[in-house]
Amino acid sequence: MKSTIFKTTVIALFIFGLSSCSTPKKEESDKTGKEYTSTYVCPMHCEGSGSEEAGQCPVCGMDYVKNEDKK
């Protein structure tokens, strides 16, 4: 009985893992927001974050990092 429950659980987790791999990711091509274009950005690129001065992300609380992509 325990073996059947274990096998069923393993199969269910395997199927769930496969289905999560095929889930489309959030649109990542739009990198025009201030979370990508500011001098200092959140490492997680939280929506609405970013600043011209060092500080912390108001969404997740992480310290801003210098945006190396900004010219």
The whole-angstrom separation of Cα 28 and Cα 21 is 16
Q: State the pLDDT at residue 54.
A: 95
Q: State the pLDDT at residue 42.
A: 94
The continuous run of DSSP H or E covering 13 comes out as helix 2-21
Amino acid at position 70, single letter: K
pLDDT band with cut points at 50, 70 and 90 for residue 10: confident
Residue corresponding to tokens 């496969």:
18
Q: State the pLDDT at residue 16.
A: 75
Q: pLDDT tens digit string along 16-57?
A: 776 655 545 555 567 888 899 999 999 999 998 999 999 999
pTM over 0.95: no
Amino acid at position 62, single letter: M
Q: State the pLDDT at residue 24.
A: 55
Domain ranges of the chain: 30-71
